[in-house]
Amino acid sequence: MAALCERHQCDACLLVVTIDERTAKWAAKPFRVGPGFVLHPMVIGPSNVEVVVDIERAKAEPELAVLSAMAHGQGDAEQAAAIAFAAYHGIKNLDDERATLYWDRVMGMLSQAARQALEEMMARKEVRFMTEFTRRNREIGEAKGRAEGKAEGRAEGKAEGKAEGKAEGKAEGKAEGEVKGIASGVLLVLDARNQAVSEDIKRRIAACTDLDVLDRWLRRAAVLTRIEELFEDDLCRS
């Protein structure tokens, strides 16, 4: 502590952050370090962190919203999901680096039941588990995919020399572009969250043409803790 004070030329304290109430109570006690030196840690735990479920409050104080999710993420699943939902809205418009860091902290502290409840809540409200960074990259991926698909469709239609073939080519190109865009979005979200993606997984994502399945994968990519969770209970129709 003395070294920190000297190095940074400011006051220093010991901050304990825990999700376990017993640990919080233990850490809040004064610690006798030596003659004349008693350490009084500052403790952040479930009992002294506010439950933040109001979206406007989370937007005004995003760091408090993140702390709330971390402190209460292992409690009641529905409440934890509501806290994480508010935290999502609080951090989604922050800069990409902070938003990704905060969101990973939130998801890392939620129980499996809370993550499932949150995924269902997001699906009902048609909200994407994405920071502005991943949203922009998904849009770029979709635009690129649509452009490539349309170009291919036009080329095929022109080669056939028929209006019908051209129209079908455009329609197929648009659909293919949307598939490619969402698939690219899944990979971009996984990359932003530093998930290790094997070549086999990349091929499986690229091979899927089922928009509903790809959409579920996109939501899961932002909440999973293990890459294997991406494909749970899903058989993609290629």
In this structure, the answer to whether residues 149 and 216 fall within a common structural domain is: yes
pTM over 0.85: no
Instruction: Please check whether residue 72 lies inside any domain of the structure.
Output: yes
Domain ranges, residue 171: 132-231
Per-residue pLDDT in tens (0 to 9) along the chain, 238 residues = 778 888 888 888 888 888 888 898 998 899 888 888 888 889 888 888 999 999 999 999 999 999 999 989 888 999 999 999 999 999 988 888 888 888 888 888 888 899 889 888 887 765 555 444 455 555 555 565 566 666 666 665 555 555 554 455 555 555 667 778 788 888 888 887 888 889 988 888 888 888 888 888 887 887 778 888 888 766 665 5
Per-residue pLDDT, 133: 46
Instruction: Please check whether residue 150 lies inside any domain of the structure.
Output: yes
In this structure, the answer to whether residues 25 and 113 fall within a common structural domain is: no
Q: What angle separates helix 211-221 from helix 112-124, to the nearest 10 degrees?
A: 130
Instruction: Please check whether residue 236 lies inside any domain of the structure.
Output: no
In this structure, the answer to whether residues 110 and 66 fall within a common structural domain is: yes
Residues 6+ apart with CB under 8 A from 78: 117
- Amino acid found at 27: A
In this structure, the answer to whether residues 227 and 150 fall within a common structural domain is: yes
State the DSSP H helix or E strand holding residue 33, giving kind and residue range, or none if neither: strand 31-34
Q: What angle separates helix 96-109 from helix 132-160, to the nearest 10 degrees?
A: 110
In this structure, the answer to whether residues 149 and 227 fall within a common structural domain is: yes
In this structure, the answer to whether residues 137 and 218 fall within a common structural domain is: yes
Nearest alpha-carbon partner for 129 in 75, 161, 84, 172: 84
* Domain count within the chain: 3
Q: Report how far residue 100's alpha carbon sits from residue 107's, in angstroms, rounded to the nearest whole number.
A: 11
Q: Which of 108, 124, 140 is the last residue of a domain?
A: 124
In this structure, the answer to whether residues 137 and 109 fall within a common structural domain is: no
Instruction: Please check whether residue 238 lies inside any domain of the structure.
Output: no
DSSP structure string for 36-73: TEEE--EEE-GGGS-----HHHHHH-HHHHHHHHHHHT
